[in-house]
Amino acid sequence: LVALHHLPTHTLHFIYPAYHSLGAPREPVAWYLMKVGDSGAQNVIGEAYDGGGREKTTAAEGKVAIQADWKDWKDLSKREKSVFIGALTAKCLAIIVVIFIYLCTLSTLATAFTLLSSRGLGKYIRDSSLIRDPASALIIGMLITVVLQSSTTFTNVLVSMVAANMITVHMAIPMMIGSELGTSFVNGLISLTYAGDRESFKRAFSAAILGDVLNICCILIVLPIELTTAFIENISWTIVDPLISEQGLSFKTIEILTDPINRFVLEVDEPGLRNATITDEPLPADHSFILKCSFPNGSRIYNCPYSHPFIHTTWSDDTVAKIVIVLSIALLIFCLFAIVALINNIMRGRVKEAAQRLIEKECPGRWKWATGYIIMAVGLGFTLLLQSNSVFSSSLTPLAGAGVISLKKLYALTMGSNIGTTFSGVLAAMAADPSRFEKALHMAVCQVIYNIIGTLLFYPIRTMRNIPLHMAEQIGECTAHYRWFILLYLFVLFILVPITVISLSLLPPFITVSAFVLMYIVIGAVVAINILQTHHPDLLPEKLRSWEFLPVWMYSLEPYDKILTSYLSRIPLVGKYLHHKEPHPVNGNGTTYHQNGHHQPDAGVFLRLASQTQV
């Protein structure tokens, strides 16, 4: 490393391409860390190969410039074109097959939930105080999303539960809104990898929490209105009702394709099961809705017309339903990962280059305002393909930390991703049988309307658009200075707030409502005073022009810094990132500047890059 550091810049520029021209493997070479010349040339921090393309990151621009090392399409031979088109077609067909398995699993999941509800579980869930209370239901939706790390999966389960009459649409809406939260947990941990550089860490953590900040703003405005007026539920029913008629109930949705497959997994008495779910009448202990070829005494029926694996089982319906639910959710998650893997395999070379260039471009002239909406459409499209909002947002956090994507463009991508993730709910509704189609579609449309309302509130108007952006930037700034604040943020959002809200929901309604009203008043007053302190301090009394009249521990994190840093820095794996004091200024690309004017590659970056095989 020392020897390479003293080589001239042009020598290193020559060595690295020559290294590959000899047939060496195309892997990131950590020692290709170039020095910045006195002329102010761009500082090249490394090159990495991904499929058919070479990516070069420049610290001066903070963007990724694609240098293609493949032939132009017109220069390819017929055989090369045929191989490329054939491989791309095969991958697209594989995605279609996985999506079909995904739809079959959703249909089976709804049937299994219906089996559970037939034995009184549906009534138990409907009567649960935690589910019936909107605040605690919202928290439950958030926590389940944190556990599954996929709001898409939970939304599909929620639609299936509504289709199975386990919960009503009115009860499911708060849980659906809560499921929009929770994606920042893994994103926050990902952002810790940028803790070595203050600016990169600020960008990464701001990007990590941007989605949650946006959803919190939507919840504070939309949820109280929904609870008092039920406008989302009413609007969605207005849209769904004309689509449902007596003829519409006999309409075959995607089930015409999924039913033949699902009969090999589980087949039940649909009419009897539906009636038992709705009426909640007591049933005999040995009654089973699963279509079997055996009797309770153990005798079997020959020439059985059914072919699912439970035709001879002696297990109860509840046991079979729980097994199918666990396996179905596992298969759902597997399908999501399979779709992600296939998309990542496709998004290489020319396709990846086209996607990155599309994100970086802006509309010319007077159409520049439409750039954000086009980027929003890109985010929507990618989420439709990935079928996972969490995976999409997690993949964007490193790009934001590296400065490839600005926070404003990431904001538009997040907006589009929020709308795109609702497509899975519509798919789940389409996978329901006709008798469940009405309620399932009603639930799915509720999620679509909620995300569209959030987009209309916080994107077209610049002032409203800047609120989540400013909040995310301020939290990122705070976290960049106090590294331990990231753990405090995650603790408060995912542990302290859920415990507090669920505890309040168990109290009498008057106390619960009073507590939330007081919370809204305090938050509104603090936000209003902060805005006036920044823009119109002359409108405030002299005492309120700053918070210095309060004890310092009420408005500053400085009193907690020394204590929390000393204790939290002892946490294994994470603690080393929590020191906010930097030994040397870092320029953001792994090069540390010293007081004598020289700059040397960071050994930590050297080791990390040397251990990688591709970016």
Q: What is the pLDDT of residue 62?
A: 40
Mean pLDDT value across residues 116-124 = 61
Whether residue 233 is contained in a domain is answered as yes
The string of pLDDT tens digits covering residues 291-318 is 777 766 666 677 777 777 777 777 777 7
Whether residue 559 is contained in a domain is answered as no
Contact 383, 377 (CB under 8 A): no
Q: What is the pLDDT of residue 227?
A: 86
The string of pLDDT tens digits covering residues 545-554 is 888 888 888 8
Mean pLDDT value across residues 11-36 = 39
Q: What is the pLDDT of residue 455?
A: 92
Close Cβ partners of 45 (under 8 Å, ≥ 6 residues apart): 33, 34, 57, 58, 59, 589, 590, 591
Q: What is the pLDDT of residue 44?
A: 34
pLDDT band at 456 (very low <50, low <70, confident <90, very high): very high
Q: What is the pLDDT of residue 609?
A: 40
Residue 99 belongs to domain spanning = 95-342+411-506
Cross-strand bridge partners of residue 47:
56
Q: Which residue has the higher pLDDT, 288 or 190?
A: 288
- Give the burial class of 444: count Cβ atoms within 10 A of its Cβ; 0-12 exposed, 13-18 middle, 19 or more buried: buried
Whether residue 29 is contained in a domain is answered as no
Mean pLDDT value across residues 213-237 = 89
Mean pLDDT value across residues 265-269 = 79
Q: What is the pLDDT of residue 366?
A: 83
Question: 88-92, 122-126, 309-313: which range is least confident on average?
Answer: 122-126
Q: What is the pLDDT of residue 106?
A: 74
Q: What is the pLDDT of residue 417?
A: 86
Whether residue 462 is contained in a domain is answered as yes
Question: 13-17, 115-119, 287-291, 427-431: which range is least confident on average?
Answer: 13-17
Q: Which residue has the higher pLDDT, 566 or 513?
A: 513
Mean pLDDT value across residues 130-143 = 84
DSSP code string of 560-611: HHHHHHHHHTTSTTTGGG-----SS-B-SSSEEE-TTS-EEE-HHHHHHHHT
Give the integer Cα–Cα distance in Å for 12 and 35. 10
Question: What is the separation of C-alpha 523 from the centre of its chain, rounded to a whole number of angstroms?
Answer: 27
Q: What is the pLDDT of residue 576?
A: 63
Q: Which residue has the higher pLDDT, 59 or 76?
A: 76
Q: Which residue has the higher pLDDT, 442 or 156?
A: 442
Total domains present in the chain: 1
Residue 65 has pLDDT above 70, yes or no: no
Going by C-alpha positions, the residue among 169, 180, 173, 93 that lies closest to residue 145 is 180
What is each CA distance from 524 to 252, 331, 499, 531, 541, in whole angstroms?
50, 44, 23, 11, 18
The string of pLDDT tens digits covering residues 499-539 is 888 888 888 888 888 888 898 899 889 888 988 888 888 88
Going by C-alpha positions, the residue among 150, 190, 612, 186 that lies closest to residue 398 is 190
Q: Which residue has the higher pLDDT, 377 or 155?
A: 377
* Angle 457-472-137 from CA coordinates, rounded to 5°: 65
Residue 207 has pLDDT above 50, yes or no: yes
Whether residue 35 is contained in a domain is answered as no
Going by C-alpha positions, the residue among 153, 97, 98 that lies closest to residue 333 is 153
Question: What is the separation of C-alpha 538 from the centre of its chain, rounded to a whole number of angstroms?
Answer: 43
Q: What is the pLDDT of residue 66?
A: 43
Q: Calculate what percentage of the chain has a pLDDT beyond 70.
A: 64
Mean pLDDT, all residues of the chain: 72
Q: What is the pLDDT of residue 601?
A: 39
Whether residue 42 is contained in a domain is answered as no
Residue 238 has pLDDT above 60, yes or no: yes
The string of pLDDT tens digits covering residues 160-188 is 778 777 788 888 899 888 888 876 676 77
User: E strands within 114-221?
Assistant: none
Q: Which range is most confident: 3-7, 150-154, 209-213, 570-574?
A: 209-213
Whether residue 11 is contained in a domain is answered as no
| pTM reported for the whole predicted model | 0.63
Q: What is the pLDDT of residue 453?
A: 93
Judged by DSSP in three states, 290 sits in strand
Whether residue 608 is contained in a domain is answered as no
Q: Which residue has the higher pLDDT, 107 or 602?
A: 107
The string of pLDDT tens digits covering residues 377-407 is 888 887 777 666 666 776 677 777 766 678 8
Q: Calculate what percentage of the chain has a pLDDT beyond 90.
A: 3
